[in-house]
Structures are given as structure tokens and as C-alpha cells.
Amino acid sequence: MIQESPVDVVCLGVGFMSGVVATELALAGNSVVGITKGPYWDYVNDYSTTKYDEWGVGLGRKYDSPLPLQSTTIRNDSSQFALPVRRYTMPIQYHALGHGVGGAAQHYGGGMGRFGPWAYEMASRTSSAYGSGFLAGINPQDDTHDWPLTYAEYEPYYVEWEKAHGICGNYNGSPTNSPSDINYPWMSRNYPLPPHPMTPLGQLFQSTVQGMTAPNGQKYNPFPTVSALSSQPYTNQYGVTVNPCVYEGYCAGLCDYACETGAKANAAYRTIPAAINSGNFTLVTNAYIFRLELSPSGNQVVAAHYYDAQGNDHRQPGKVFFNGMWGYNMIRLMLLSGLGTPYVYNSGTGTGSGTVGRGLTNGYTPYRGTNVSGTVNIGGNSYPAGNGSGGGVSVFDLMDDNFSHSNISPPFIGGGLFGAGGYLGGGPGNITFAGGVAAPNTANPNGAMGSAFKATQQNKYLPTKQSVGATPFAPDLPTFMNYIDLDPHYTDAYGDPVSRLTYDWTPNTYNGATYLVNQIKTILTQMGATNVTVSNAVAPYSAHNDWWGHHLRGGLRVGTDLNAGTAAAWAALSGYNQLYYNSNTSGFNYFAAGEITNTTGNNATAGTHAAGPQSYRAAEGIKKYLANLATGSIT
Amino acid sequence: MVSQTRREFLKLGLAAAASAAAASGIEIPLLGNQNSNLQNQLNSANIQMANLKTKLNTVTGFVSLNINEQSLVEAIVETIIPSDSTGPGAKEAGVIYFIDRALAGDYGQSANMFMDAPHNPPGIPASAGPLTVKPSSAWAFLQNYQQTAYLRSGTAISYLGASRTYTVGGTNYTVNYGITASPRVGSGINLQYPVNMREFWRISLAALQAYSRKYYGGNYQTLSSTNQMQVLKDLWANTPKTQTNPPPPADDLTGFSNILASDFAYELTFMTWAGFLMDPLYGGNQNMVGWDYVGFNGVNFGNFYGEGLNQKTLMVASSPTKLKPASLAQYQQQATGGA
């Protein structure tokens, strides 16, 4: 075993969350170590030419977490044998797991809208609006709770987060910008950068919905889609300079969303450079964390253990450990280390006990879900123009509780962020087989084979019309039956159990889709779309076949009550434990991500954004904790 | 079905050198004047090389598929993307070379797949014994172990929508095989086979050929184009397993006894389209005929050939602009100041 020098703060994983914590703490004069299992990607050398290589990047997965090292298993319910994920989906549009500095955010479209006030108080607001039994009635084995903090308490952290990462947008879509404005999460400060140039489809969507009445009886309020890709040169509060997007495309789908200019926000190009410049930060790459070493009493973490590239065991002691790892990797590390109380599901009673692994939710749409599609007479270049998330227009009017859910059948809560008009970025594989090659079916008797299908691909990248559509769904709600634990059969390359996901769609997702799809159908029809068609095919078990790995959330709650939630907001932590968790695992309040897409999609990765302010809160809490430690007020 | 042109390339033994040179711009050095005959051959080879370089990234010759597999795969990919009046197909794009190289590389070696046992391939026959997993080079270095694949005995499942119970360590587990799923088998938890993808193709190609002979009266290559398509559709529908006229013998290759036929149909279809549309660097999409067909510009962002356009304008346009495509090799040559 190799002993490393003790430091003040050890960051486990170096993605978005650790980027904030490491930078804030290092700039405040603390010694910080960040440990990541992958390399430090350099966009100039690693992405500037090679990202245009769809086969190597999108299909060979050369930037992604290697499955031979570690995978996960998945099943739909606790009675099943969980099968391991053997291969990244080919094609892979939705399964980019991070590897190295920046983590999963090296591979996202850049959707970065805020969570609104309702999301933080989903349980209590639903109860007061529709009755105390409403949630339990629509969500079997319901385990939904409010966050311990409100949106208003997180708002200042959102501002810091948006400054650090150079978020583009314009809140002027909000009619009043007041805290009482239900059409928009109130913002004390506009986004630091203006939106990207709008596409013709975005303009059509905007002008159409401006003249339409939303379900709440008011006019729709469209606004430029919020994006984490810088639209202009920018310098953040840490002095890190940011290149603007060059719109060279090759972003979506098979190109794995790698960004060759660093315009797309992630820790590697926004926060970590400042941490390194401070002189107080040590970055350890290609290091696979496998255990947290606990004190004899079990209420303190003493050290983190990791394997280096040669398989040597390193021991890294510290005063504070911040877990910024990917969602279920974080859960797995805690379970492997005996930290916290493992969640145990009781299928007999339909409840569970324990906290670590509880409340797994999904932040993305059922692949074969309810959907609506049509065609508009706007052409364009479907070849790799554009970027991953800019250029579109969105509305909040079909989201959260921004319309009444009374008397809707089947019942549901929440809704989705809808928008249209994002750029058609992507390489050649993206449009032809981003969703996989089709089996023979009624519409295409030979599937993706033969002359008839081939003819549909001729000049497909030079469309004179565009397909528009949406696969909406309402928030996935936490339930006792969806959770994470350790798999009893499969191990990683070092012989440790992999994580096991027990998950199926909750009824709220597809019940909401049934309602939302018709609202969007009305919008598409008003836009002048032809052949507007609704398909309603959501059913259980689709999750088993499509692994939506990087959109899964939950498994560890943010909480102030340490008996209810293992992860704690900082206020409750001082004096208890050295661990701080990011809220990306607090999925019980995840919402949104309904979406309206053109052919390549305008993604909504809003869950990332909800974790952002939590990382600032954690950084603040760690500073207080270290100060208390220094004064001896805690031991 | 192997073309005369290809045979000549094979005879000259230039395949590997041609591919390397075309992709990277490396020149083949002359070896001196010791042997005029050799020199003449080399001169001839260099002329051929020069001709090849004028065709962007054109590769020929095989590094993985054996002689029987070559003609079979060639016939299959030409069924999936036929050359027709609308334009070139898999043949002109050299899709078979793309697949051949992929099978020899990471794809075929399952180099980025999780291969930990136990394996639960659907439809494993009761008579099958344990197999040993062959670790791919990519993960063998991590731990030097050979794993035993636990092949389950029991009733073969009838695939989609079916359930099957496995007993592991005294506990029964039920596996549901996609209640609503179309066989989108590239995803996630599919491909639970205790063999790598090269081996999967080897077994599956032999099974396809056996099936073709038994139910369509001849090798796949000899069938009518209608029947060739029907064989592939049978695979998509997992028909080999359920054939009744006559039923395939239990555990017989003809019935895809160890492979879910739709898994293989997916790989065939997907890899053919990939070979048509991926960068020529990987052996397919030769002369960028695939990109030209679909109207894709490659890495021409508007000014590669001096067109004077830019992406920021193109991406907000309301009508399309066709650009002459450029390949990754061209892009990298331009970036490094090369030709």
C-alpha cells in the first residue's frame, strides 16, 4: 500500500460537483486532492480533430468509462435476475458515461435550465393543491418528499453556478420576473451570456405559441432555450477564459457531445484550471477509487483507497471527503465501504428501510414512449451544423404545476419543458441510425434493409422539410420499488460487486405523457405541421431493454435529518461526519425533461443544473466545517 | 462472388500497405537495386499505390473473414444496401472491408464490453456444457483469469415477451425478455453471450448459411434476391427457432440454438449501414460514396474547398446547401499542412 500525504479535502471523482468544491476550497487556501479514474482531457489535443471520428468516438467509445473495468446490472423488479450491461448501445446516443476530469459532462448536449420552486416542494404543494392522498394514489409505493431547502434558498447558488459555467439564455421570456411568477423560476440575475442564434424552426415555434393560450388560460411565454455552451468569449469569476462555440457540429449522438473548443461547460474547462492555478490542488488521474476507510466507530471517513494504473493500492487520508462521483458509482462506493445504512426493499410490504440506494429515478423519456410527430416546410442542413443545445425556443407553461392537474385522466403531476428548433448537429450515423436500425415492421416491411429503405436515406441530410415531434413524459417519482444495491453475481475487474439497478417506469411518467402529447399536438398543428400523428405505446419493462444509464438519478437523498437521509445538507453536518454528497443523487425531486424535438433532439439535462447549486452549498458547508475544526468547536 | 479486381489486389499482397499509406500518407520506401525484377515489381506496386491514393482511403483485402465468410457477407451487405438506380450501395462503398476490419479490431474482440460471468444467453439448450470465456485483450490485463460461463439448462424460451427462471446459488430469478421491446438488441443488457463478437459472427454466419440451405435450398449467395431478403427477415423475426417445415433439430445450428437470431440480424444491418456512412478511414464509405448519397458533408464546414461558407450561417438556413464532402484523412492532412 502506498501512503499519500494527508490533505484538508479529498474530492472523489472530478466532475461538475467536485470541480466547484475543489476550486472553492483550494482558492480559500485549503489543500485539496481530486481523484478520477480517467485522464484529464485536453480539448485541443484530444478533441480538435479526432472528435469528427464517429466510429472511434461514438461507437468505439474511446472517451467513455470502460465497461471491462466496471459495469452495472439492471432489472425491472426485485423478483428478476439482473442482467449486466455488456456493451454500450450501438448506436449509443443516450449512454455516455463519463471518464476522467469533467466526467459525464464531457458528453452532454448542454441543456441547463433551472429547477423551479415547485420541484423543491413537490410533495407538499401537490398535497395542498390536490389533497393529501393524491400522490399515493397516482404513484404506487410512493416515496416522494420535499427537498430540505427551498428554491429561494438555492437561488444564490444558482447564480454562482451560472457565472462559473457561462450559461447562455435570457430570462426576458418571463413577463414579470418576480418570485410569484409561476411561468418562470424567479431569477435575481440574468444568465451571464446571451442565447445562441435562433433557427427558423425556433422562430416558427416562438411566433406560433405566442399567439396560443396555454392550459393555464394565459398566453404561452416562449424564451430562448438555456444552454451551457458559451455563445461569446467569456471569463468567469475564477479568471478562467472560455472559448465560444464555433458551430462546427459533430456534437450530438454518435459524436458523444465532445467539444473541440471547450465551449461546452464542464469542470475541466471552467473550474479545475483555477484550482490547479491556485497551487493548492493536486489532480490524480487514472485512479480507481474502491474503498473509503472508516474510523473504528464508523462515523468518520479516514481515507480513500484507489488503484493506480498498475493496480497499486494508494491510501489518501484527509479531513473532509466530498463525494462527487457519478450517481450509482457513489452509492456503490458507500455500500462497498459500509458507509451509511444500505437500503433494503421489502416486496411483501411494498416499503423499504435504510437510505443508501433508496429512491432511484429516471430523468429521461421512455424510448418507445408516447410521442407525436409531424412535418414542417422548413429545410436546413442536417449535416453537422450547430451545437448540442442552442438555437431553440422553450416554454415552461406545460411544466411543474404551471397548469391545473385537477380532473385530468389518467391523473399525474408535473409536466415538461418543451421547446423546438435546436440545431441539427450530428454526424452521418446520427440521423440514419441514432435510434438503432429498425426491425421489419408494418410501415417498412424490410426494416432498414433493401432499396425502399435506402431510398429514404437519399439526400436525407439535405432536407427541404423537417420532422418535428416530441416524446413527452412527466416526472418520474420516487417509489420504494426502484433502488440501487450491490449485485450478488457480477464483479468489476478487481473482484468487487458492481451496482445493481432495480428500475421500471413509474405511472406518472406515461400518464403525464398521455396528456402532454395532445397539448404538443395542438402546438404542432398550429405551426402548420402536416401529418401530425400521435402514438401511445408506453408500457412497463421497456427500461429493461434500453439502458438509460446516464439519465438515472437518485439513490441518496439530500436531507437535514440524518436518520432519514444519509446525505445531508451542510447545516446538519458539522460535528457529525466528514462526508458531503452532491445532490445529483437526490433524485426524489427530479422533474421535467419532457421535450419537443426535431429530428436530432433538443435535450434537457436540467438535473445537472439542480446539482450545481448543491455543490456550492456543499463548498460553503465544508468551509464552515474546516473552520469549526480549526477552532476546536468540533472534533 | 469475389470480384476479379479484388483477387488481383490479393495476389499483389498490397492490401495492408495500401490501406496504411492511403490513411496516413506514408510512402513505401524502395529497397535498392539489388534485384531488377524486384525493383520492377516495386515500381509497379508504387504506381498502383499512387493510383490507390487518388481514390480516397480505398482499402481491399481481408484480415479477418475467411474465404467462405467473405462471399457470404458480401451477398448479405448487398442485400441490405443494394446498388440500384438511385445510386451506389454497399458494394461500391466497400462495406465488406469495413466489417472485416471491425471484426479484426476492438469490435470483434469485444474490447470494450463487460464480459464477467455468469452468462445467460437466451435459448441455451439443455445439452450444452459449460464454455470457457475467452478474455479479450482489452480486459485480460486487468485480471488474469479465465471465467466459466454458467450456461443454464432448462426449457428454451420463446424470446420476446417471455420469462425464464434461472437458479443461481439456490435462489430462483426470473428474467423477462422485453415485454414491449422490438428486438433493439444493440442496447444495454442484450448480447449476454460467453463469446466475443468475432466468435458471435462466426457462429451466426455458419447458422445463417445452414438455415439457408435447409429451408431455401441452397447457399445464401445462390438464392434469388427475394429469398435473400426473406432469410434476413426470418432472422429478424427469430423464425429459425420456430420453423415447422420441418422443425429444426434441437440444438442444431440451423435453429440458431445458441444465438438469438434477431441479435445477429441487428448486427448485420447496423454494421452494413455503419460501413456505408462512417469515415473512409475504417475501410468502408470508399470514395465517400455513402456521404454523397445521403448528402452529408463530412468535415467540410463550408470552406474546405474554398466555398466561402460557414457553419454559423448554414445552421440557421431554411434551405439546405449541398457541399462536397471531405474525409477525416483530408482534414488531418490539411490541419498538418499536408496535401
CB contact under 8 A, B175 and A381: no
Selected for mutation to probe chain A from B150, B293, B316, B334 (highest A CB count within 10 Å) is B316
Enumerate the residues of chain A whose CB falls inside 8 A of the CB of residue B299: 52, 250
User: Measured between CA atoms, how close is A375 to chain B, in angstroms?
Assistant: 14
Q: Which of B142, B169, B188 sits opposite A85 (nearest CB)?
A: B188
User: Could you tell me the mean pLDDT of each successive run of 10 residues in chain B, 339 residues long?
Assistant: 35 34 34 52 64 58 93 98 98 97 88 75 41 38 33 35 48 44 39 79 91 96 98 93 82 74 90 93 94 90 91 83 90 64
In whole angstroms, what is the distance from residue A57 CA to residue A255 CA?
6
Phi then psi for residue A190, to 5 deg, are -70, 165
- What's the total number of domains in chain A? 1
Residues 6+ apart with CB under 8 A from A103: A13, A14, A15, A16, A36, A266, A267, A326
Q: Chain A contact for B168, CB < 8 A?
A: yes
Greatest mean pLDDT range, A133-147, A470-484, A582-596? A133-147
Residues 6+ apart with CB under 8 A from A169: A113, A190, A191, A193, A195, A223, A224, A225, A226, A227
Return the minimum-mean-pLDDT range out of A9-23, A28-42, A136-150, A163-177: A163-177
Which residue in the block uniquely carries the three cell numbers 418543451?
Answer: A418
In whole angstroms, what is the distance from residue B1 CA to residue B73 CA?
10
In whole angstroms, what is the distance from residue A467 CA to residue A394 CA?
17
> Which residues 74-113 in chain A show a CB within 8 A of chain B?
74-76, 79-81, 83-91, 95
Q: Chain B contact for A446, CB < 8 A?
A: yes
- Which residue, A235, A240, A310, A228, is CA-closest to A269? A240
CB contact under 8 A, A87 and B114: yes
- Strand intervals (E) in A382-504: 393-395, 418-420, 466-470, 483-491, 497-502
Provide the Cα torsion A267, A269, A274, A275; round to 10°. Answer: 40
Q: What is the pLDDT of residues A191-208, one digit of tens each?
A: 899 988 888 888 898 999
Q: Chain A contact for B25, CB < 8 A?
A: no
First-residue to last-residue Cα distance in chain A: 28
Q: Chain B contact for A376, CB < 8 A?
A: no
Task: Considering only residues B151 and A520, tell me which one the structure prediction assigns the higher pLDDT.
Answer: A520
pTM: 0.84
Q: What is the pLDDT of residues A418-452, one digit of tens each?
A: 777 766 555 655 556 655 678 888 888 999 999 99
Q: Which of B86, B110, B111 sits opposite A454 (nearest CB)?
A: B86
In whole angstroms, what is the distance from residue A343 CA to residue A354 CA?
4
Query: B168: burial class by Cβ within 10 Å (0-12, 13-18, 19+)?
Result: middle
Type of residue at A92: I
- Which residue, A451, A432, A447, A437, is CA-closest to B90? A451
Greatest mean pLDDT range, A8-12, A391-395, B82-86, B167-171? B82-86
Q: Where are the domains of chain B?
A: 4-54, 67-106+197-277, 300-339
Q: What is the pLDDT of residues B178-227, one digit of tens each?
A: 333 222 233 346 677 777 888 889 888 999 999 999 999 999 999 999 99
Q: Which pLDDT band holds residue A354 (cuts at 50, 70, 90)?
A: confident
* ipTM at complex level: 0.88
- Which residue, A391, A395, A367, is CA-closest to A516? A395
Enumerate the residues of chain B whose CB falls inside 8 A of the CB of residue A198: 316
CB contact under 8 A, B181 and A494: no
- Residues above pLDDT 90, as percent of chain A: 26
Q: What is the pLDDT of residues A569-623, one digit of tens each?
A: 332 222 222 233 322 222 221 111 222 222 112 223 434 456 778 788 878 878 8
Q: Which of B178, B182, B269 sits opposite A544 (nearest CB)?
A: B178
